[in-house]
Amino acid sequence: MKIAVDMELCIGSGTCAMTAPAVFDQDQDEALVVILDPEPPPEQWEAVRSAVRHCPAAVITVLD
């Protein structure tokens, strides 16, 4: 699994960081998403997929 985020469209809701905190964090200044682990291990995949589903801006993409 590889993760990509369209930073131009992230609205800084923080949903991803709450859903998958081992994979996503937020920038301290603008609260925009920071990808901590762009290729997370299998034990994180369910949380990542949940973050994809719940991202209010639909900007997280799972590449494989």
Confirm or reject binding of residue 20 to ligand SF4 (CB under 6 A).
no
49, containing H or E segment: helix 45-54
Residue 53 CB, shortest distance to ligand SF4, in Å, is 10
Confirm or reject binding of residue 12 to ligand SF4 (CB under 6 A).
yes
Binding residue for ligand SF4 (CB under 6 A) from 2, 4, 11, 38?
Answer: 11
Residues 6+ positions from 15 with CB-CB distance below 8 Å: 51, 54, 55, 56
Do residues 51 and 60 make contact, with C-beta atoms less than 8 angstroms apart?
yes
| Footprint of ligand SF4 (CB under 6 A) | 5, 10-16, 33, 55-57, 59-60
